[in-house]
A = this chain, B = another copy of it.
Amino acid sequence: MRATILAVARDRFRREGYEAVTMRSLAADAGVDAALISYYFGSKRGLFAAVLELTLNPADVLASLLEGELESLPQRAIRALVAGWDRPETGLPLLTAVRAAAADPALATLLRGGLQREMVDRLADRLGGADARHRAGAFVGQLGGLVFTRYLLAVEPLASMTADEIVRTLGPALRTTLFGPVRRAATGNDHARGPASA
């Protein structure tokens, strides 16, 4: 039954994209009760992960990261990403999914929908404010850059840097993306170079 649900979900996600598919309509298509899908996969996010054959679901990781304090999210997000992608058991299925999405437009649509709804939108909700969605998009884009250059292409020095080094190098940029340079420097001037009191 689980395999039937997965097959139906895979097909519908690929044809219609992540957002359009409802748990209810999937249950109808698979000829099962919606509660059974929840029982097997927990949520649409869980089903999405199963469809992508992931053993680690980045959306679930982000959801738990967002429960912590926002202030430390940049370094926590980097560490969670590096831990998940560095470990072969979780990293290889992720890499396979991303490689497949790069080659297959239908899978790219699926991955895009998941990234938008489960990562950009959730982060934007948590951030709040007028430009929250742009900042959330840039944040996810920068983490995507880490996936692309460190894992997909293995560009040095990123490919060999430790999690600590990445936190040191990329952490400040991610903080700037979330909170803006103004909040750190408190000068209201992005280009301020003058001395400032701590």
Contacts and interface: CB of A to CB of B under 8 A. Distances in A.
Secondary structure dominating the interface of A: helix
Contact of A169 (B131, B147, B169, B193): B131
Given A149-B144, A158-B138, A195 B192 contact: no
Chain A contact patch, size range: 35 or more
Q: Give the number of copies in the complex.
A: 2
Contact of A165 (B134, B153, B169): B134
B172 A155 contact: no
Interface stretch (A21-29, A39-47, A86-94, A110-118): A110-118
Interface string A122-146: 0000000001011101101111111
Contacts of A134: 157, 161, 165, 168-169
22 contacts: A116-B155, A120-B155, A131-B169, A134-B165, A137-B149, A138-B166, A138-B170, A141-B158, A143-B145, A148-B148, A148-B152, A173-B176, A175-B181, A176-B176, A181-B184, A184-B190, A184-B191, A184-B192, A186-B193, A187-B196, A194-B198, A196-B196
Interface of A: 98-99, 101-103, 108, 111-112, 115-116, 120, 131, 133-135, 137-138, 140-150, 152-158, 161, 165-166, 168-170, 172-177, 180-181, 183-198
